[in-house]
């Protein structure tokens, strides 16, 4: 600005001198020169400003304006500001895209609704939870798309922040799914709708309640028996023979409780301890012999009047191999399968236990019985805790309902597979397949 003023004054001086000289040293000539210079300067400045204004009205920041003279500094400043703003906009867009990508990757659903409850945006998770197609349903009213009565009432009552649970759009009777929804207000009347799949949480809660109820029931029954016999012995005169009978029944019930507690502790240990390493090796024959001994002892104890037929067949090469993993866990799984077969196979029935070498597939430990068999609808749930096909039959045989749950956990921890097949009236077959990675030849 300072140099502009100096330049203007110098031009005025030059115009005055030229006017003075051209007019023959007349003062009016000097004034005319001053006036012409001033008018020319004003016209030129207006011309530059007009060019600059036209460029600013429709700017192309890749093409600099021409004929703006010393206003180039303004152009440079505008271009720098514009480029700085573009950079800020790009950064803001990138941050927004990153934010939206993060929301898209979220396992929870997020949906934005306007003041009239129209869908402005949602991530893919929310679309799956509520059966929304974003290309088709954008700006549609959410009450028209989600017609669950619980959700409709929730919107009408404006219970913002409260959590509700509805059936997922993809829920089926054989595979139920539940979705949790929460609505929050933000901005000027807008709503934020959050959703999450709580199917597994609900199932876990049901399992927890069932587990507590089952444990309480299983312990309460023998405790009731024990308390009754103790009260009888304390309050009533009984003969020695009666007393002996009561004590035997009490011992039986206490053994039942002890077995239940031991199985619960085993399950707790399996679920809470690290996976067994492959550095601990146990000869297959050691496990096999212990398993056979326990099965025969239990069968003799339960069915002495009319013994069962127990057949144990083992591959000749089994004595050459060892299994990697926890010896106690593997023995527990094998004995559970065999003792289950002993308990559920009636007197005079037969049980066939095999350990067969499979080419390129390790060993298969199988137990096949001639028991009552299991209906197909029960097979998928057999490994659940306390799940029983016939509760009265289980209690008669002394089972806790935890054996197959233990077998399943042991199999998972040793990279093995548990396969179950059965036919009503013909018996059942349980097979534990041990992979090659868990086997080696005895050194």
- What's the pLDDT score for residue 306? 83
Q: Which fold has domain 204-273?
A: Helix Hairpins (1.10.287)
- The Cα 270–Cα 293 span in angstroms is 24
In the chain, the percentage of residues whose pLDDT exceeds 70 is: 79
Query: Residues 359-372: what's their mean pLDDT?
Result: 86
Measured in degrees and rounded to the nearest 5, phi and psi for residue 206 equal -65, -45
pLDDT tier at 41, thresholds 50, 70, 90: low
- What's the pLDDT score for residue 442? 77
- The Cα 388–Cα 400 span in angstroms is 9
Q: Sign of the C-alpha dihedral, residues 320, 324, 328, 331?
A: negative
Measured in degrees and rounded to the nearest 5, phi and psi for residue 316 equal -60, -25
Taking the CB of residue 195, how many other CB atoms lie within 10 A of it?
Answer: 23
- What's the pLDDT score for residue 399? 58
Region of residue 301 (left: phi > 0; alpha: psi -120 to 50; beta: else): alpha
Q: Which fold has domain 106-197?
A: Beta-Lactamase (3.30.450)
Lookup result for tokens 């012409």:
36
Q: Which of 108, 114, 134, 131 is nearest to 122 (CA)?
A: 134
Q: Is 60 exceeded by the pLDDT of residue 393?
A: no
Q: Is 80 exceeded by the pLDDT of residue 313?
A: yes
Q: Which of 90-94, 270-274, 337-341: highest mean pLDDT?
A: 337-341
pLDDT tier at 174, thresholds 50, 70, 90: low
Query: Hey, where are the domains in the chain?
Result: 2-90, 106-197, 204-273, 276-441
Question: Residue 46, exposed/middle/buried by CB under 10 A (0-12, 13-18, 19+)?
Answer: exposed
Query: Residues 411-426: what's their mean pLDDT?
Result: 89
Measured in degrees and rounded to the nearest 5, phi and psi for residue 175 equal -145, 75
Q: In what order do the strands lie in the sheet with 163-167?
A: 119-122, 109-113, 190-197, 178-186, 163-167
Q: What is the mean pLDDT of the chain?
A: 80
Q: Strand, coil or helix: what is 276?
A: coil
- What's the pLDDT score for residue 298? 86
Q: Give Cα 119 to chain centroid, integer Å.
A: 26
Over the range 337-369, which residues count as b (16 or more CB within 10 Å of their CB) and which as e? bbbbbbbbbeeebebbbbbebeeeebbbbbbbb
- What's the pLDDT score for residue 431? 92
Q: Is pTM beyond 0.85 here?
A: no
**How does pLDDT run across 93-120, given as a tens digit for each residue?**
888 777 777 778 788 888 999 989 999 8
- What's the pLDDT score for residue 394? 47
Q: Is 60 exceeded by the pLDDT of residue 170?
A: yes
Q: Which of 360, 361, 342, 348 is nearest to 419 (CA)?
A: 361
Structure-token pair, residue 3? 């140099």
Query: Residues 66-86: what's their mean pLDDT?
Result: 67
Which DSSP symbol is given to 274?
A: P
- What's the pLDDT score for residue 432? 92
Task: Give the up-direction half-sphere exposure of residue 337: CA atoms within 13 A in the CB hemisphere.
Answer: 31
Structurally, at CATH architecture level, domain 276-441 sits in 2-Layer Sandwich (3.30)
pLDDT tier at 54, thresholds 50, 70, 90: low
Lookup result for tokens 């013909």:
426
Structure-token pair, residue 316? 């000749």
Task: Give the up-direction half-sphere exposure of residue 402: CA atoms within 13 A in the CB hemisphere.
Answer: 20
- What's the pLDDT score for residue 132? 85
Q: Strand, coil or helix: what is 197?
A: strand
Contact 371, 430 (CB under 8 A): no
Contact 319, 284 (CB under 8 A): yes
Contact 323, 439 (CB under 8 A): yes
- The Cα 298–Cα 308 span in angstroms is 11
Q: Is 80 exceeded by the pLDDT of residue 239?
A: yes
- What's the pLDDT score for residue 222? 80
CB under 8 Å to 202, separation ≥6 — which residues? 165, 178
Structure-token pair, residue 398? 């002394």
Q: Is 90 exceeded by the pLDDT of residue 35?
A: no
∠ Cα 387 329 211 (to 5°): 25
Please determine whether the domains at 204-273 and 276-441 fall in the same fold group of CATH: no
- What's the pLDDT score for residue 369? 92
∠ Cα 122 126 132 (to 5°): 80
- What's the pLDDT score for residue 2? 61
pLDDT tier at 418, thresholds 50, 70, 90: very high
Q: Is 50 exceeded by the pLDDT of residue 33?
A: yes
**How does pLDDT run across 122-169, given as a tens digit for each residue?**
888 888 888 888 888 888 988 888 888 888 888 888 777 788 888 877
Q: Is 80 exceeded by the pLDDT of residue 332?
A: yes
């Amino acid at each position: 600005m300072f140099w502009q003023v100096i330049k203007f004054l110098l031009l005025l001086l030059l115009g005055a001198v030229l006017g003075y000289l051209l007019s023959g040293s007349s003062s009016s000539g000097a004034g005319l020169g001053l006036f012409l210079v001033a008018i020319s300067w004003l016209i030129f400045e207006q011309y530059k400003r007009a060019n600059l204004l036209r460029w600013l009205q429709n700017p192309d920041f890749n093409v600099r304006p021409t004929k703006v003279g010393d206003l180039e500094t303004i152009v440079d400043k505008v271009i720098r500001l514009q480029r700085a703003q573009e950079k800020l906009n790009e950064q803001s867009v990138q941050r927004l895209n990153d934010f939206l990508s993060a929301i898209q990757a979220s396992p929870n659903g997020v949906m934005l609704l306007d003041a009239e409850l129209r869908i402005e945006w949602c991530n893919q998770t929310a679309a799956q939870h509520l059966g929304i197609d974003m290309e088709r349903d954008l700006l549609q009213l959410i009450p028209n798309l989600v017609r669950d009565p619980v959700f409709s009432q929730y919107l009408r009552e404006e219970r913002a922040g409260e959590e509700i649970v509805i059936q997922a759009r993809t829920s089926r009777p054989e595979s139920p799914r539940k979705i949790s929804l929460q609505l929050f207000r933000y901005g000027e009347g807008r709503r934020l709708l959050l959703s999450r799949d709580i199917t597994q949480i609900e199932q876990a809660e049901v399992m927890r309640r069932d587990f507590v109820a089952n444990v309480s029931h299983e312990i309460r029954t023998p405790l009731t028996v024990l308390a009754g016999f103790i009260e009888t012995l304390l309050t009533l005169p009984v003969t020695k023979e009666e007393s002996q009978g009561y004590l035997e029944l009490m011992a039986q019930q206490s053994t039942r409780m002890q077995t239940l507690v031991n199985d619960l502790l085993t399950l707790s240990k399996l679920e809470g301890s690290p996976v067994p390493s492959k550095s601990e090796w146990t000869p297959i024959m050691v496990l096999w012999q212990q398993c056979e001994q326990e099965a025969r002892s239990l069968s003799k104890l339960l069915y002495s009047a009319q013994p069962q037929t127990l057949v144990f067949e083992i591959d000749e090469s089994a004595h050459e191999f060892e299994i990697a993993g926890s010896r106690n866990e593997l023995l527990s799984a094998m004995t559970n399968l065999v003792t289950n077969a002993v308990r559920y196979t009636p007197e005079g029935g037969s049980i066939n236990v095999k350990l067969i070498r499979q080419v390129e597939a390790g060993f298969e430990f199988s137990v096949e019985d001639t028991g009552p068999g299991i209906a197909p609808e029960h097979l998928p749930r057999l490994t659940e805790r306390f799940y029983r096909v016939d509760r009265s039959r289980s209690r008669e045989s002394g089972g806790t309902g935890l054996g197959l749950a233990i077998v399943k956990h042991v199999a998972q921890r040793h990279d093995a597979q548990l396969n179950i097949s059965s036919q009503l009236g013909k018996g059942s077959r349980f097979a534990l397949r041990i992979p090659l990675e868990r086997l080696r030849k005895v050194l």
